[in-house]
Amino acid sequence: MNPDKVADEIKTNLNNDGVILKPYQDVENFLKQLEQLILLDDHSINMRLYEAIPEQHRIKGDNIPLQLKAIKNETEVGHLRETMRKDGVALLHFFRWLEQELKSRTVTEYEAGRRLHEFRKAQGDYFGESFTAIVGYNSNGAIVHYRPDEKLLQRSNPKASSYSTPAGSIYKGTTDITRTIALSAPTDEQKRNYTLVLKGHIALATAKFPAGTAGAQLDAFARMHLWQHGLNYGHGTGHGVGFFLSVHEPPQGFAASPSNQRGNTAHEPGMLTSNEPGFYKTGEYGIRIENLILCVEAEETAFGKFLEFETLSLFPIDTVLIDKNLLTEPERLWLNAYHQRVFNELAPLLNGEEVEWLRRKCDEV
């Protein structure tokens, strides 16, 4: 950093702790002249710094702080559970507001994103968005990392077919959640593809697997139902999530390729990861269903230790878009149980009208 920005007292304290301050432009010469071994993570270091370190001083290995941060302790998990309740209430206020507004007027994507921010802020202990809400209406929902622009003013229409809202917040814990909702009667194709995405989401959420299983092995669970219909999506199924900040936090995740960090990192108890399969039809609509899932111990058998996931996010999944004939009985039971848990967790935090709205959204399928 620029040493001129640091007070002398802070410089002294840092130096006493073994922290050396150097200007940015000195980094290459400093690394070249350093006579110590340097642990480096070749998943993240850039080539310029890598080449500045003499080969005999390089030791390749995992970034130790990342591994430590990835495994959440009991206190962090407790905060995350409270965070998910706050976020669920904020989302309920937002979607109730959207439904009411669309009865009489159009709503821009940008306005919707700002209102969601305000509903979250009203929950207290709110430190901001973990990323700007990606509110995508109809064809914009097919753009994976679309971002609404105030100048474009893309408007949502009550007669539109779909609305996708990837959004995240930071309370005393980080959230990342996506819901796709129907604003009018969906087509048979939309219902089929939405249900295939949901089936993949459930398959990953309910997976039980031996310790040491990596992200690339689990990624296929979320895609297999789409694959059977010749469909796919072009992004990873999930990423690690930090406790506070770092909504995209390595090393774990779910990715199709075993050659990248998300794909080749084994999941461990305490890791928080997004479960977000999707489907995108360019120029028409997009679908994504995302919850955050916590890796936990399942059981130990003669074949070793097995792990599973616990879903932490709390908000109903739109049932209007589901083709119920495509759901198996275990999938239907999982969805009903999830909705019952959402209702039980959120209802005590709501008034009478809000409870009735939530009850309708949590109806059994």
Task: Examine the fold and report which residue of 37, 61, 85 is the final residue of a domain before the chain moves on.
Answer: 61
- Say whether both 92 and 36 belong to one domain: no
Supply 310's token pair: 């616990």
Distance CA 198, CA 35 (A): 54
Which residue among 31, 61, 91 closes a domain? 61
What is the per-residue pLDDT for 130?
92
pLDDT for res 294:
98
β pairing state of 58-60 and 38-40: parallel
Alpha-carbon distance of 38 to 31, in angstroms, equals 9
Task: Show the 3-state SS of 43-56.
Answer: CCCCHHHHHHCCHH
Residues 340 and 240 in one domain: yes
- For residue 160, name the pLDDT band (cuts at 50, 70, 90): low
Asked if the model's pLDDT at residue 157 lies above 90, the reply is no
Distance from C-alpha of 30 to C-alpha of 22, rounded to nearest angstrom: 9
Could you give the CA distance from residue 5 to residue 274 in angstroms, rounded to a whole number?
A: 38
How many Cα atoms are found within 13 Å in the side-chain-facing hemisphere of 62? Answer: 16
- Identify whether residues 151 and 278 lie together within a single domain: yes
Domain that holds residue 15: 3-61
pLDDT-derived band at 148, boundaries 50, 70, 90:
confident
pLDDT of residue 52 exceeding 60: yes
Instruction: Name the band, by pLDDT with cuts 50, 70 and 90, for residue 97.
Output: very high
Between CA 89 and CA 355 the distance in angstroms is: 11
Domain shared by 97 and 148, yes or no:
yes
Let me know whether 302 and 193 are in one domain. Answer: yes
State the Cα–Cα distance between residues 201 and 47, nearest whole angstrom: 37
Q: Does 9 lie in the same domain as 81?
A: no
Whether the predicted pLDDT of 260 surpasses 70:
yes
- Specify whether the backbone of 138 is left (phi greater than 0), alpha (psi in -120 to 50) or beta: left
pLDDT digits (tens, 9 = 90+) for 11-49: 999 999 999 899 999 999 999 998 899 999 887 899 999
Tokens representing 117 are 């921010």
% residues pLDDT > 90 (the chain):
81
Please state the domain count of the chain: 2
- At which of 42, 61, 80 does a domain end? 61
Indicate the pLDDT class of residue 178, thresholds 50, 70 and 90.
very high
Average pLDDT score over residue span 235-258? 96
3-class secondary structure for 240-303? ECCCCCCCCCCCCEECCCCCCHHHHCECCCCEEEEECCEEEECCCEEEECEEEEEEEEEEEECC
Residues 268 and 304 occupy one common structural domain: yes
Same-domain check for residues 236 and 148: yes
Tokens of 286: 């997009």
pLDDT by residue (tens digit) across 272-300? 999 999 999 999 999 999 999 999 999 99
Same domain, 44 and 74: no
At 108, is the pLDDT very low, low, confident or very high (cuts 50, 70, 90)? confident
Q: Do residues 141 and 51 share a domain?
A: no
CATH number at residue 316: 3.90.230.10
Residue pLDDT, tens place only, 294-341 = 999 999 999 999 999 999 999 999 999 999 999 999 999 999 999 999
pTM of this prediction? 0.90
User: Which is it for strands 180-182 and 162-164: parallel, antiparallel or unpaired?
Assistant: antiparallel
**Residues 145, 30 share a domain:** no
Any idea what DSSP says for residue 304?
A: E
Tokens of 225: 């139902």
Rounded CA-CA distance 212/158 in Å is 48
Q: Are residues 120 and 144 in the same domain?
A: yes
- pLDDT higher than threshold 90 for residue 106: no
